[in-house]
A = this chain, B = another copy of it.
Amino acid sequence: MIPDHEFEKIEGVPGPTKQEIRCLVMCKAQISSDDVVLDVGCGTGGLTVEFSQRVKKVFAVDKNPQAVEVTLQNLKKFNPSGDVELFKNDALSVMENLPPLDVLVIGGSSGDLTPIIKRGHEILKKGGRIIVTAILLETRSTSVSILKELEMKPEIVEVSVARGKVLNSGTMMKANNPVAIITGYKNFN
């Protein structure tokens, strides 16, 4: 996992997703090297880069041109040869023309959470996974509710990480903001 501070950043673009959360998303996504992944709301590109190093193909989308720009920079820095297709667009438009997906990750949805999950469920392969990383309270309950409705057996964990700053006077624990990771499985028995 790439340390947080090594990513290029642009002010006003959220991310990168913190290392521990990237790690947990990779686990929950149960990725394999054959997977096709869509990263919605790629922001700084933290998850896009990590997926690109582990799967066959990554599609990444963000409406914010600066997010697309910094994601591109991070791909060049960490995985210039990765098979990644980047879209400066809204997710629903991009999802009209995508091949079947193994994994859909949603880090930001610009108010379209419900239709993105529903459309994602349609284009997900059997056995595919949807993973939502939520910093908003409302995203948590909405994601669980829709995944339940779609019979995707939602799982939710809320993760709080405090990182020690090792000083001479002692180790000061500094909190990262809590993130909920919601996971659903298609045709899971």
Contacts and interface: CB of A to CB of B under 8 A. Distances in A.
A23 interface: yes
Interface string A150-180: 0000111111111110100111111111100
A98 interface: no
Contacts of A148: 166
Interface of A: 1, 19-20, 23-24, 26-27, 30, 111, 135-142, 144-145, 148, 154-164, 166, 169-178
A161 B164 contact: no
Given A140-B141, A162-B158, A175 B173 contact: no
A4 to B, nearest CB: 12
Contacts of A173: 135-137, 158, 177-178
A178 B141 CA distance: 16
A89 to B, nearest CB: 20
Contacts of A145: 138
A164 B135 CA distance: 10
A30 B20 CA distance: 13
Contacts of A26: 23, 27
Contacts of A178: 158, 162, 173, 175
